[in-house]
Amino acid sequence: MPNNDTYVTGEHKIFYNREMIKAKNIVNGLTIKKVEMKNEIVYNVLLEGYKIERMIANGMISETLCPNTLMVKMLMKLNNISDKERMTEIMEYNKGMRLEHERRKKIEILLSE
């Protein structure tokens, strides 16, 4: 149980009932709620190496970012280009992420009907 309000993505795994579970799968509406985010920054922790690790955040065990994901590859690419190129790439990634978010929202609505 975290000792402070803690916000994670739905895909983020946390230690719950003796196993690592995606946060979206334990939402109960009371103590664990889904919150709509609007342009907030989400931080991920990436440790050196090629495996997912665990860490403690606000007294809660959670996973670190998997180094083989598309997000990590994107961050590594952005780290090696000019500021101007970086801003162009970030704007394109954000546009794609917004489109994907809207697509998933529509699918969720269709599945709930």
Sheet holding 13-16, edge to edge: 19-22, 13-16, 60-63, 54-57
Query: Does 43 have pLDDT greater than 80?
Result: no
Please state the pTM of the whole predicted model: 0.56
Q: Which residue has the tokens 């500021």?
A: 83
Sign of the CA dihedral with 76 first, then 66, 71, and 47 last = negative
Q: CA torsion 98→101→103→104, rounded to 10°?
A: 170
The pLDDT of residue 75 is 76
DSSP 8-state assignment for residue 68:
T
Mean predicted confidence (pLDDT) in 50-73? 78
